[in-house]
Amino acid sequence: MQIPRRPNGATGWVPAGQVDVARVRTRIVVDLSQKRLTLYRSGEEVLSAKAAVGSPATPTPSGSFYVNQRLIPTDPNGPFGPGAVGISAFSNVLTGWTQGGPIAIHGTDAPWSIGKAVSNGCIRLPNATLRRVFAQALSGTPVVIHR
């Protein structure tokens, strides 16, 4: 199984008795070159939207990840907008950040940034779009990020 630890793509093992198994019908695909996030449910595209991605100095890591957190900020008008969907990815360059530079899909207080490569590695969405993604991207949802 994948674990949310450095380096990206790390695997680990746990006793089967300590694991709950459930079917996940959603999947998120982020195309970094197109700066676009697409959400699928049961194999069908539910939404596709422009997104801000990591800057050249702090790129969004590519690979196969999963949703491991769902956070609601105290200030819905702040830098993370109304919510953040944490994923198991970590920045490859921001290693000194708190918790090792975790990556999230979140809203923004900078709507001008959507469609640009300007973040510290996170994927920013318009707040209305983030609300839709947040409602459907439950823990365990696969997240594939590619160039």
Active site residue 122: yes
Q: Distance between CA 92 and CA 4 in Å, rounded?
A: 13
Element (H, E) at 131: helix 127-136
CB count in 10 Å sphere of residue 118: 16
* Catalytic residue from among 58, 66, 101, 106: 106
* Catalytic residue from among 122, 123, 133, 145: 122
Q: Distance between CA 38 and CA 89 in Å, rounded?
A: 18
Nearest alpha carbon to residue 85 among 31, 26, 16, 131 = 131
What are the Cα distances from residue 16, in Å, to 1, 13, 70, 74? 11, 9, 25, 36
Active site residue 127: no
Question: Three-state DSSP class for 98?
Answer: helix
Residues with active-site annotation? 106, 122
